[in-house]
């Protein structure tokens, strides 16, 4: 675990409703932004964690600019919740703080969640602390037990082990012989063993430098980890999510008594409204920020946080 010794700076942006923030950690500086409600605080605050891969604080990557998390933070701020969104270690502006790919582990991201949570709790402008983990961010948040959130949202999060989910996805998209090779690689990674030689067709997914991170990802069971979270939990999923299935949301919703869940009709993985599950039709929603959030999402989240924070008083 990264030592909990850190400092943070606040840099006011041209927009008075947002603040650029810097979190200086022993292993580099992380960068983020606070979406702030109008009027005086203190406000409840929500820490928003992005999903897998090179996804930045806005929910974007080089090939996908949908502004899903930016819209989420601004939408919640309009309802009276401050929100912190940040670039993960090694991503976007926080790139210099990232280790070499072969040294990265999921526990490092969880440790950063703890650091941000401690900083937010030290800021007198904020009260109750909630968490929203989008996609892989849900698992990362559940591994950050030291953060001690007052309320937790798994937003389109995986509910089954990575090996199970990858096999399901690869079986749909690979020829039979190539899937068999991928299955062999996954079996080795599940046993904690790296594979020195991977089929050239699979090198992007299973390149040697990323295998240690995949091993760290494969080990935890998302449902088991979420079940250990002691604060109120809300599992939110969408019926047209083509990356995370209904089986995942059902697994998370059943982790323990009292977990709330909702499956929003026609919401996809990047939180936009579309009725179709065709990859071709959904592609534009991943790549174009003109599409707004699903109209029911903010209200669902607001209702959960309001009730959860009220119970915590």
> Reduced to 3 states, what is the DSSP secondary structure of residue 19?
strand
- pLDDT at res. 169: 86
| Ranges of each domain in the chain | 7-160+221-311, 165-213
Inter-residue contact 290 to 268 (CB < 8 Å) = no
**pLDDT (tens place) for every residue of the chain, 313 residues total:** 333 334 444 433 334 489 999 999 999 999 999 999 998 889 999 999 999 989 999 999 998 999 999 999 999 999 999 999 999 999 999 999 999 999 999 999 999 999 999 999 999 999 999 999 999 999 999 999 999 999 999 999 999 999 998 998 899 889 999 999 999 999 999 999 999 989 999 999 999 999 999 999 999 999 999 999 999 999 999 999 999 999 999 999 999 999 999 999 999 999 999 999 999 999 999 999 999 999 999 999 999 999 999 976 6
Sheet holding 18-25, edge to edge: 7-12, 18-25, 28-35, 82-86, 43-49, 126-134, 151-155, 233-238, 260-264
Contact 85, 57 (CB under 8 A): yes
Using N-to-C axis directions, what is the helix angle for 162-173 and 176-190, rounded to 10°?
170
User: Residue 10 forms beta bridges with which residues?
Assistant: 21
- DSSP class per residue in 79-130: TT-EEEEEPPTTSGGGGGG---GGG--HHHHHHHHHHHHHHHHH-TTEEEEE
For residue 1, which of 25, 35, 30 has the smallest C-alpha distance?
25
Q: How far apart are CA 171 and CA 184, in angstroms?
A: 13
What is the per-residue pLDDT for 313?
63
Q: What is the CATH number of domain 7-160+221-311?
A: 3.40.50.1820
Tabulate helix, strand, coil % of the chain (nearest 5): 40, 20, 40
User: What's the CA gap between 132 and 152, in Å, rounded?
Assistant: 6
**Which stretches does DSSP call E strand in the chain?**
7-12, 18-25, 28-35, 43-49, 82-86, 126-134, 151-155, 233-238, 260-264
Neighbours of 106 (CB within 10 A): 21
* pLDDT on residue 312: 67
Instruction: Quote the CA–CA distance of 109 and 49 in Å, as a whole number.
Output: 10
pTM over 0.75: yes
Query: Which one, of 139, 129, 122, 99, lies nearest residue 21 by Cα?
Result: 122
Angstrom CA distances, 125 to 27, 122, 273, stand at 27, 9, 34
């Amino acid at each position: 675990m990264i030592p909990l010794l850190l400092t943070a700076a606040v840099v006011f942006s041209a927009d008075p409703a947002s603040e650029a923030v810097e979190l200086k950690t022993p292993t580099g500086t992380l960068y983020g932004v606070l979406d702030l409600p109008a009027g005086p605080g203190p406000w409840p605050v929500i820490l928003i964690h992005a999903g897998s891969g090179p996804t930045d604080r806005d929910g974007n990557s080089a090939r996908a600019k949908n502004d899903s998390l930016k819209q989420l933070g601004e939408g919640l701020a309009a309802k009276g919740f401050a929100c912190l969104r940040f670039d993960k270690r090694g991503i976007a502006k926080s790139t210099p703080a990232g280790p070499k790919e072969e040294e990265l582990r999921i526990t490092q991201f969880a440790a950063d969640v703890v650091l941000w949570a401690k900083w937010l709790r030290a800021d007198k402008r904020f009260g109750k602390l909630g968490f929203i983990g989008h996609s892989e961010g849900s698992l990362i948040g559940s591994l950050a037990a030291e953060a001690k959130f007052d309320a937790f949202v798994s937003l389109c999060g995986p509910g089954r082990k990575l090996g199970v989910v990858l096999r399901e996805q690869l079986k749909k998209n690979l020829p039979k012989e190539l899937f068999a090779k991928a299955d062999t690689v996954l079996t080795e990674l599940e046993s904690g063993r790296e594979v020195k030689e991977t089929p050239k067709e699979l090198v992007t997914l299973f390149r040697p430098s990323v295998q240690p991170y995949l091993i760290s990802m494969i080990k935890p069971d998302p449902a088991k980890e979420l079940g250990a979270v002691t604060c109120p939990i809300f599992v939110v999923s969408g019926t047209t999510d083509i990356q995370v299935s209904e089986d995942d949301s059902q697994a998370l919703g059943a982790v323990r008594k009292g977990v709330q869940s909702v499956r929003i009709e026609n919401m996809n993985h990047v939180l936009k409204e579309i009725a179709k599950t065709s990859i071709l039709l959904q592609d534009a929603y991943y790549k174009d920020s003109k599409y707004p959030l699903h109209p029911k999402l903010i209200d669902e989240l607001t209702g959960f946080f309001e009730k959860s924070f009220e119970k915590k008083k």
